[in-house]
Structure 1
Amino acid sequence: MIREFKDIKRDINEHADVLVIGSGAGGAVAAKELAEKGIDVILIEEGSYFTSKNYNQDPNDMMGMMWRDSGTTLALGLPPVSITLGKAIGGTTLINSATCFRTPETVIEKWRKSYGCEGLDYKELLPYFEKVENEISVTELSEDVLGAVYQVVKRGAKALGLSAKPLRHNVKNCEGAGICQFGCPRGAKQSTDVSYIPKAIQAGARIFANCRATKLLTESGRIRGVKGKVIDPSNGKAKHNIHITSKIVCLAMGAMITPAFLLKQRLANTSGQVGKNLTIHPCGRVVAEMEEEVNGHHGVSQGGQIDAFAGEGIMLEGIFLPPGLMTMSLPGVGEDHKYIAKHYKNLAAFGVMVSDTTRGRVFRPLLPGFPFSSWYSLNKTDTGKLKKGIEITAEIFFEAGAKRVFTGCTKMPILNSKEDLEIFKTMPVRAWHFELAAFHPLGTCRFGNDPGESVVDMNLESHDIKGLFIPDGSPFPTSLGVNPQVTIMAFATRTSDYIAESIERY
């Protein structure tokens, strides 16, 4: 069972061989893999535990329940960027779009050659990718579940000589409810709360929700456990104390919170790299008003992809939002807004995701009550990629018969014709002209063989503190160019194998 706030009546004083902090793509995998190898595991998660019975399909309610800061988390910069993070059993896997990619082989090669990751071998990772994909049921969906927006994009892409392809998703019996980011009402999405966590429990792992880690315990350069607080989810106040001792700690809070947690305690940072090198896959959204009804809310929210420009650092992937969120994100007030709301069924949308060369930074929290502060200001190169991706997507929609296209760029927010698009192509823009969102923070505790240039080694163990592992998105030294959950899960599986093989040394 998962012990929640309502089940915890007193202070928690426990011991385990391994303590895992976080239950997303890294933490849940580590807990399950280690528990199945007979290792005594405790996992704590700051957020609450939800099941499909808790999901009312109202996006505003679900964001308040499962999204950190109700979806208002920002990286400050020009422009500021909204960063979506989960806060629940399941972490961000609970609120992502279920899109699955393996790490591109070119990325692994770049890490090996240019980022001090000698010894990292793509072929060695293949069994881990396969294992993860089997655990979370990665599959290619049928076109009826991919939704009508996919068909619109496929039609427009074909006219331009491009190929739109289905994305692969971690789902079982998906019916295309279209609200992947707000809690799957059918339990089809195989987020870690329904895939890895039940198996971890079955193998003997002890799982605690509503438990916030506040301090790592160390002694003579070794990890010794954690202190924390049991949090009342109704008001955010601390109710009981937590003291858990362990030989090993897997710190898997995610690439925004993990570095801030370490910086706050001045730990594991002899390299000076903790919190630096933040990449986020900045994203833009292009929305088209079509002549016909599309009903983009029917089918998965992220169905298709166009990867023809991936070599340039531009991925085009499907995206769609429920009515309230979609209409309020488009320009126009009064009668213009009413018109958009009335014609919601005619809207189609596609996303532009940039493999960023920009590097941001995570800091200790500047304000009380927040787990971190961050800065990310899109550079000129990435701004150019974003604009090109928007231009391509707009062209696809016009070829598919769009009446007009919303660019998400304040310099020219609406294109009413192909002629407008040609004007937009020649228009100089700056980063702050774009509305940005991001979903994939990575890189803030990067791995490598050189302790002077990296935070953890290739097994994801701290160079500074023996027994401290970071199996989340923090260790990856560059952006991936693709959605990262399978990469995080595969490396967490690999690290779990290493821990299990070497635990007697701790």
Structure 2
Amino acid sequence: MTNEDWDVIVIGTGIGGGTVGRALSEAGQKVLFVERGSAGRRRETHGLSEISVPEARRTRGLWPDKLHVTLDGADSAFYAPLGAGLGGSSVFYAATLERPERHDLDDLPDHPHPTGGWPVGFDAFLPHFDAAARLYRVYGTPDPLSTEHSLPLRDPPRLTATESALMDSLTASGLHPYHAHTAIERVPGCRNCLGTKCPETCKMDGRSAGVEPALATGNATLMTDTQALRLLGRADRVEGIEIRRGGETRVLRAKRYVLAAGALGSPRLLLASASEAWPMGAANRSGLVGRNLMFHVNEMFALWPRRGTPDDGPTKAISLRDFYHRHGQRLGTVQAMGIRASYGETVFYLSRMIDRSWLKHTPGTRQAVRAVAAASQLLFGHAQIFVGLMEDLPYPENRVQYDATQPDKLAVTYTIHKELHDRRRAFRKAIGRALRGHRHLMLSLAPELNYGHPCGTLRFGHDPDASVLDAHCRAHDLTNLWVADASFLPSSMGVNPSLTIAANALRVADAIKRSSGT
């Protein structure tokens, strides 16, 4: 494979990489996928895990090393919910593919955009949102609060008794729940693998909706267990990728290159590519590579259905946008997480709340947590855990760090600004008021960053001095390098980014096809 001259090399096989590689291979281009992790076994069913042995994590398709975070000046290291195998993080995701609102992209008089608006507006993205929804077989029901035409949604499965009870009680409270938009092809025997690897081809992720169909064309090849070390080239063009595979270092070459290693991995690779041609790293004339890092902020709570409702297990079927944009503030979506608040989950989340508060050194708190969890289990039965997914905003000082002496270290620096604290308090208050009359329990004290949703570190824009990529997600400074992952986002939006990543990957594929005349 190192002797081939590929049309396109795609680094990463998540939703962005899988989608762009499929579109290009179906157009007849010769595509090579380069994936750091292993291919794994197709029948695997495990999920995200705190297992700490790097080799075991690699085998399971998990990122092998800890993420080092400096948060408000305090250092910590932990295993983030990130994948490193065929399909990337998407093989573990819960398959929620929601379209953003118009004001997420456009600067509107009554909804001003914090960045002045995206370089490509909502209307220009619409056909790609629709195409991505079809490609990923998304089902659900329209958001009753939306004034836009609905995505081309397939009919969802019938609600369970638990889901129906929650839908009815939320509606009775004046809220507007709808069946969450979910990317699952419900084949016979579907296990509804939300949050775990799917052993069949039901869940539409970067593997089942991207790489595998690409390989089936005969135009794509997959190279796993291969680490991209740096890009090679001259001032305005990439001429190769230095890789390490099986202990050997080699160079891969193509006419065009696509970065899809994620919003943490892609900027790190560009920074690692510093050379005489690129003193600050590849595509980094603006100095913005790795900057403007964003995560969503999770606001988690347990919600109990009315007494006497049958326990039909956890649900991911419910979503609502009543708090998406409120009193001039950009808040976010509320959705079910697919987790029940049984005794074990309640102990976990209450313990985490205490660990992040002044109570962590108070004697007897652990016993108190267990008592509260046992009492709630006895009194209320099984609740469902929901999350409010609040938009994060870009700040240049929030960034991916790269240390040439420790090139494999994954590290970020992040400061929680006052406006985020203020918006979070408003979000909590809005949720609490709306749930009056419901049995519910907030499960977080301090802001909880969603480390599974990094984005924004290679933002696209028209101005080369204020962005890394142009409107087609090609690097301003490099004529044959594109980006197709969450790095391109100039704002995080108030929804899960997966559908937007897939839609943009289709845009990138179109741009590459135009550049190559196919």
TM-score range, shorter chain: 0.7 to 0.9
SS where residue 295 of structure 2 aligns? coil
| Greater mean alpha carbon deviation, residues 383-392 or residues 187-196 | 383-392
Matches for 1:89-488 after TM superposition, within 5 Å: 89-110=86-107, 115=115, 120-140=120-140, 150-151=163-164, 153-173=166-186, 177=191, 179-203=193-217, 204-230=219-245, 238-265=246-273, 266-288=281-303, 292=307, 298-300=313-315, 302-311=316-325, 312-314=329-331, 315-321=333-339, 327-331=347-351, 333-334=366-367, 336-337=369-370, 340=373, 343=377, 346-357=382-393, 359=395, 360-365=398-403, 368=406, 370-395=408-433, 399-400=437-438, 402=439, 405-409=441-445, 433-488=446-501
SS where residue 441 of structure 1 aligns? strand
Shift of the alpha carbon at 1:21?
A: 0.1
Q: Distance in 2 between matches of 1:46 and 1:296?
A: 41
Compute the TM-score of the two structures, normalised by the length of structure 2: 0.79
Change (3 A) 1:488 1:435: closer
Q: Distance in 2 between matches of 1:246 and 1:127?
A: 29
Q: Is the 8 A contact 1:22 1:45 kept in 2?
A: yes
The amino acid across from 1:223 in the alignment is: V
Q: Where does residue 277 of structure 2 map in the other structure? A: none
Change (3 A) 1:129 1:270: same
Q: Is the 8 A contact 2:50 2:79 kept in 1?
A: no
Q: Is the 8 A contact 1:82 1:437 kept in 2?
A: no
Change (3 A) 1:44 1:193: same
Compute the TM-score of the two structures, normalised by the length of structure 1: 0.80
Shift of the alpha carbon at 1:143?
A: 7.5
Q: Distance in 1 between matches of 2:346 and 2:201?
A: 24
Change (3 A) 1:116 1:504: farther
Q: Distance in 1 between matches of 2:388 and 2:170?
A: 14
Change (3 A) 1:296 1:114: same
Shift of the alpha carbon at 1:145?
A: 6.1
Q: Where does residue 81 of structure 2 map in the other structure? A: 84
Q: Is the 8 A contact 2:347 2:370 kept in 1?
A: yes
Q: Is the 8 A contact 1:294 1:346 kept in 2?
A: no
Give the percent of matched residue pairs that are identical in Structure 1 and Structure 2.
Answer: 23
| Greater mean alpha carbon deviation, residues 356-365 or residues 88-97 | 356-365
| Greater mean alpha carbon deviation, residues 90-99 or residues 54-63 | 54-63
Unaligned residue ranges in structure 1 (runs of 5+)? 1-10, 231-237, 410-432
RMSD: 3.4
Shift of the alpha carbon at 1:57?
A: 6.6
Q: Is the 8 A contact 2:17 2:206 kept in 1?
A: no
Change (3 A) 1:338 1:172: farther
Q: Distance in 1 between matches of 2:31 and 2:413?
A: 35
Shift of the alpha carbon at 1:295?
A: 7.8
Q: Distance in 2 between matches of 1:380 and 1:471?
A: 31
| Greater mean alpha carbon deviation, residues 446-455 or residues 435-444 | 435-444
The amino acid across from 2:391 in the alignment is: S
CA shift digits 1:334-363 (9 cap, x unpaired): 474377379395232110111123532111
Change (3 A) 1:77 1:56: closer
Shift of the alpha carbon at 1:294?
A: 6.8
Matches for 1:25-104 after TM superposition, within 5 Å: 25-56=15-46, 65-69=60-64, 73=67, 75-78=69-72, 83-104=80-101
Unaligned residue ranges in structure 2 (runs of 5+)? 142-154, 274-280, 352-364
Q: Distance in 2 between matches of 1:177 and 1:367?
A: 45
Shift of the alpha carbon at 1:500?
A: 1.1
Change (3 A) 1:282 1:192: same
Shift of the alpha carbon at 1:253?
A: 0.7
The amino acid across from 2:251 in the alignment is: H
The amino acid across from 1:349 in the alignment is: I
Q: Where does residue 234 of structure 1 map in the other structure? A: none
Q: Is the 8 A contact 1:21 1:43 kept in 2?
A: yes
SS where residue 357 of structure 1 aligns? coil
The amino acid across from 2:477 in the alignment is: D
SS where residue 196 of structure 1 aligns? helix
Shift of the alpha carbon at 1:24?
A: 0.9
Change (3 A) 1:246 1:143: closer
The amino acid across from 1:257 in the alignment is: G
Q: Is the 8 A contact 1:358 1:378 kept in 2?
A: no
| Greater mean alpha carbon deviation, residues 187-196 or residues 328-337 | 328-337
Shift of the alpha carbon at 1:109?
A: 1.4
Shift of the alpha carbon at 1:333?
A: 2.8
Shift of the alpha carbon at 1:107?
A: 2.2
The amino acid across from 1:333 in the alignment is: R
Q: Distance in 1 between matches of 2:14 and 2:407?
A: 22
Number of equivalent positions: 461
